[in-house]
Amino acid sequence: MEPNDILKGRQCILWGESRHIYEFTYMFDFLDYYGYISSDENTHYKISLDELAIPDLEELSTPNFLIIICAFDLDKYESIMQNYGLIDKMHYIQFEKLFELLDPFNDSVLADRKIAVWGTGETQRNFQTACIKNGYKINADCYIDNDPQKENTEYCGRPVRQFSGLDHIEQYFIVVASIYYRDIKKELNGQGLQEGKDYLPFSSFMSRPSMMLKRQVYSKEMIDFYCNRPYTWFYYAWFGAYSCCSTWVEYPIGNPAADSPEQCWNSTVAKLYRLSADTRTYCFCKKDACGIINRGKLNEQKIVPKGHPVIHVPAGRADCVRQNIDYTIPEKITLGLDYTCNLHCASCRDHTQVATGEQLKIREVFANEIIKTGWLEKTKELELSGSGEALFSKIDRKILFANEKCKRNSISLMSNGILLNEDNLQRLKQHFKSIRLNISIDAAKESTYRELRRGGNWNVLMDNLYRIGKMRQNNDIEYVEIRMVVQKRNYKEMIDFIQLGKKYQVDKVVFTKLLNWDMYSAEDYLEEAMLNKDGSIKRELDQILRTEIFNDELVVISEFRQFLN
57-61, 104-108, 288-292, 496-500 — most confident range = 496-500
424-441 tens-digit pLDDT: 999 999 999 999 999 999
**Residue 275 three-state SS:** helix
- By CB atoms closer than 10 A (0-12, 13-18, 19+), residue 165 is exposed
Average pLDDT over residues 399-413: 88
Average pLDDT over residues 37-60: 79
**Residue 533 three-state SS:** coil
Average pLDDT over residues 320-340: 77
Amino acid at site 460: V
- What Å distances lie between residue 158 and 124, 142, 144, CA to CA? 14, 5, 10
State residue 313's pLDDT score: 37
State residue 55's pLDDT score: 63
| 107-206 CATH fold | Rossmann fold (3.40.50)
What is the rounded CA–CA span in Å between residue 186 and residue 176? 12
State residue 294's pLDDT score: 65
Amino acid at site 189: N
236-259 tens-digit pLDDT: 999 899 999 888 898 899 999 999
State residue 319's pLDDT score: 31
Q: What is the domain partition of the chain in residue ranges?
A: 3-102, 107-206, 219-323, 332-564
Q: In 10 A of CB 133, how many CB atoms? A: 11
The per-type count for the chain, helices as H runs and strands as E runs, is 20, 21
Average pLDDT over residues 299-327: 42
What is the rounded CA–CA span in Å between residue 560 and residue 503? 24
**Residue 88 three-state SS:** strand
State residue 295's pLDDT score: 61
DSSP assigned state of 311: B
335-352 tens-digit pLDDT: 999 999 999 988 888 888
Share of the chain above pLDDT 90, in %: 62
**Residue 195 three-state SS:** strand
What is the rounded CA–CA span in Å between residue 176 and residue 519? 25
Residue 395 backbone dihedrals phi, psi, to 5 degrees: -65, -50
**Residue 150 three-state SS:** helix
Residues 6+ apart with CB under 8 A from 119: 127, 143, 144, 145, 176, 177, 178, 202
Average pLDDT over residues 71-99: 86
Q: Does the bond joining 38 to the residue before it have cis omega, within 30 degrees of 0?
A: no
Give Cα 191 distance to the centre of its chain. Answer: 33
State residue 346's pLDDT score: 86
Residue 262: pLDDT band with limits 50, 70, 90: very high
- From the list 56, 68, 63, the residue with the least C-alpha distance to 28 is 68
Better-scored residue on pLDDT, 5 or 161: 161
Better-scored residue on pLDDT, 474 or 9: 474
For the segment(s) 3-102, the CATH number from 2.90.10.10, 1.50.10.10, 3.40.50.300, 3.40.50.720 is 3.40.50.720
Total-model pTM = 0.86
What is the rounded CA–CA span in Å between residue 342 and residue 258? 29
402 neighbors 426 (Cβ within 8 angstroms): no
11-20 tens-digit pLDDT: 999 999 999 9
DSSP 16-84: E-HHHHHHHHHHTTTS-EEEEEE--SS-SB--SS-B--GGGGGGG-STTEEEEEESS-HHHHHHHHHHT
Query: Would the CA dihedral through 530, 456, 518, 558 be positive or negative?
Result: positive
- Whether the predicted pLDDT of 395 surpasses 80: yes
- Whether the predicted pLDDT of 203 surpasses 90: no
Average pLDDT over residues 506-524: 89
What is the rounded CA–CA span in Å between residue 96 and residue 262? 28
Angle at 434 between CA 433 and CA 440, to 5 degrees: 145
What is the rounded CA–CA span in Å between residue 367 and residue 544? 43
3-state secondary structure 546-561: CCHHHHCCCEECHHHH
State residue 207's pLDDT score: 85
- From the list 275, 276, 277, the residue with the least C-alpha distance to 228 is 277
Residue 327 backbone dihedrals phi, psi, to 5 degrees: -110, 40
- From the list 510, 545, 32, the residue with the least C-alpha distance to 291 is 510
Q: Where are the beta strands (DSSP E) in 293-363?
A: 302-304, 321-323, 332-336
- Whether the predicted pLDDT of 41 surpasses 80: no
Mean pLDDT (the chain, rounded)? 87
DSSP assigned state of 163: G
DSSP assigned state of 149: G
Amino acid at site 205: F
Q: What angle do the packed helices 357-372 and 394-401 form, to 10 degrees?
A: 20
- Whether the predicted pLDDT of 405 surpasses 80: no
State residue 312's pLDDT score: 37
State residue 87's pLDDT score: 84
- Whether the predicted pLDDT of 167 surpasses 50: yes
79 neighbors 189 (Cβ within 8 angstroms): no
Integer-rounded Cα radius of gyration of the chain: 26
Average pLDDT over residues 142-148: 92
Residue 325: pLDDT band with limits 50, 70, 90: low
What is the rounded CA–CA span in Å between residue 95 and residue 24? 8
DSSP 424-457: HHHHHHHHEEEEEEEEE---SSHHHHHHHSTT--
281-310 tens-digit pLDDT: 999 998 877 767 766 544 444 444 444 444
What is the rounded CA–CA span in Å between residue 114 and residue 278? 39
- What Å distances lie between residue 341 and 179, 395, 397, 508, CA to CA? 19, 12, 12, 24
What is the rounded CA–CA span in Å between residue 376 and residue 399? 9
Better-scored residue on pLDDT, 299 or 419: 419
Residue 498: pLDDT band with limits 50, 70, 90: very high
- Whether the predicted pLDDT of 141 surpasses 60: yes
62 neighbors 11 (Cβ within 8 angstroms): no
Better-scored residue on pLDDT, 484 or 78: 484
**Residue 11 three-state SS:** strand
Going by CATH, does the domain composed of 332-564 fall within 3.20.20.70? Answer: yes
Residue 127: pLDDT band with limits 50, 70, 90: confident
Same fold, 3-102 and 107-206: yes
Better-scored residue on pLDDT, 135 or 26: 26
Share of the chain above pLDDT 70, in %: 91
Q: In 10 A of CB 389, how many CB atoms? A: 23
